[in-house]
Copies of this chain bind each other. A is one copy, B any other.
Amino acid sequence: MPRVGLNQQTVVREAARLADEVGFQQLTLAALASRLGVALPSLYKHVRGADALAQKLAALATAELATEMTTAAVGRSGGDALRAMADAYRDYAHRHPGRYPATQRVPDPADPEHVEAGERAVGAVAAVLRGYGLTGDDVVDATRALRSALHGFVTLEAAGGFGLPQDVDRSYHQLIASMDISFRSWPGTGR
């Protein structure tokens, strides 16, 4: 049997592609193995199991998303940065419907790259918010608020939760515009 020459990198990357095609929930070791041209148990030479694969996929997707968010916001500030980052966020979710859900997995403390990716993603959001003049606990509150809004919208959209025919793009931009207003006069007490 000629060896296929897999390693963890190639396995996880193909898993990401497959997830985008069939959906995160439908990502299965069986499908991945057949896609890679090996028998299912062979995958265990590269990944500890299905859950570990999901974790590695999460690390990959989180890193990608963090990079795209950061890139979008670089050189901008305030509402400009906010809009650019929000658009990048939703765009990533659209382009990678299978990877996006993986980004919500809590980083595995045992995987430094995963932890670092999570920190970069949250840090990117926080940086934009500090650009609004927010400090201290207000940054934490506002970061949580923005993450909630972005994640909630993207998730509901992906689930088909917006039944009405009204333009979803418009709704998203209105949401971001309203967050912009909120951040400019954040209700917090400061510390």
Are A171 and B145 in touch, CB under 8 angstroms? yes
Known A-B contacts A152-B155, A153-B152, A181-B182; A175 and B141 likewise in contact (beta carbons under 8 Å): yes
**A56 to B110 alpha-carbon distance, docked (Å):** 39
Which one of B145, B163, B168, B185 lies within 8 Å of A175 (CB-CB)?
A: B145
Identify which of residues 139-190 in chain A touch chain B, using a CB-to-CB cut-off of 8 Å. 140-142, 144-145, 147-153, 155-156, 159-164, 166, 168, 170-171, 174-175, 177-179, 181-183, 185-188
Are A152 and B161 in touch, CB under 8 angstroms? no
Which one of B106, B151, B171 lies within 8 Å of A152 (CB-CB)?
A: B151
Are A106 and B141 in touch, CB under 8 angstroms? no
Verify if A137 is at the interface (C-beta below 8 Å from B): yes
Which A residues are within 8 Å of any B CB, using their own CB?
104-106, 137-138, 140-142, 144-145, 147-153, 155-156, 159-164, 166, 168, 170-171, 174-175, 177-179, 181-183, 185-188
